[in-house]
Amino acid sequence: MPTKRKLLINFPEVPEGDRVKHVGDLEGRLRHERRWQAAERYFKTVVKKCKLAYEPTGIYPHPKIIAFAWSEVAKQFPPLAPKKLKEIQKEGLPLKPGEISGLNRLPSDWGPLKNDATFEADVRWVHHNRLPPVVNPTENGAWRVVLSSSGYPAPSRGALSWLEFAIKNPTTFMKDTLTKALRGGGDEEEEGLRRERKSIQECNERLEEHREHAGLTSAVRGLLALVEPIRYQFTEQQKLLVAKAEELVKS
């Protein structure tokens, strides 16, 4: 196996213009922009990949890797435009009781979210992220959502709606929504229950029809027994009615 030193010979040098001279300044800016946690995760990811490729042995990464990772962070998280920064700073204003802030502020490293994902994937993501540090309750009964603190991106935009539902209805989410997701339910299960209810309703309707038919048949039998002694006196039309009644009893 090549030695650590030989592997690092081919490691890319960071151009002087891209080198981060003061990490503390970079951290301060990113904290001010409320993006430090996402940037820190990105830094660790870059370091891990570089170590696997160039420095598989050793506990601590080489300074070359550290310098390269910070330069990549600076590229990935450039300074925000003044308008965007102002929007983010508004998030620090006091919230009204019951208000939820931050659900629409997606981390830049998430990329575009899908419009739809599976019911189970959305609900599981919410279950993993419905508490601090992602969802942070305030003293006056509001919530600040910091999506950049999530361990991984939301599966879809629908997951953010489920997160809002879980914040406002925690008991219902845990008892009903999460339970359904864990046993693989969702839209398919709802459709199955609907078909089952419809089948039960149809069976009840048929049973009721059978009961009505049985009652009518019994009444006709009794009527035929009464008219049997005088049947020979009936007109042709009356005899025809009796014949139809007999057919009804046999069916």
Q: What are the pLDDT tens digits along the chain (251 aa)?
A: 344 444 566 677 778 777 888 888 888 888 888 788 888 989 999 988 888 877 777 677 888 888 899 999 999 989 988 877 777 666 666 778 889 988 988 888 898 899 889 999 999 999 999 998 889 888 788 888 989 889 899 999 999 999 999 999 999 999 999 988 888 755 555 555 566 566 656 655 665 565 555 555 666 666 666 656 665 666 666 666 667 667 766 66
Give me the residue spans of the domains in the chain.
4-82, 93-185, 206-250
Tell me the whole-structure pTM to 2 decimals: 0.43
Going by C-alpha positions, the residue among 37, 127, 30, 131 that lies closest to residue 74 is 30
Sorted by sequence, the CB contacts under 8 Å of residue 97 that are 6+ apart come out as 140, 141, 142
Rounded Cα–Cα distance for residues 217 and 212 (Å): 9
Report the sign of the C-alpha dihedral through residues 159, 164, 166, 167, in that order.
positive
SS3 145: strand
Please tell me the predicted confidence (pLDDT) of residue 124.
94
Please tell me the predicted confidence (pLDDT) of residue 231.
59
42 Cα distance to chain centroid: 25
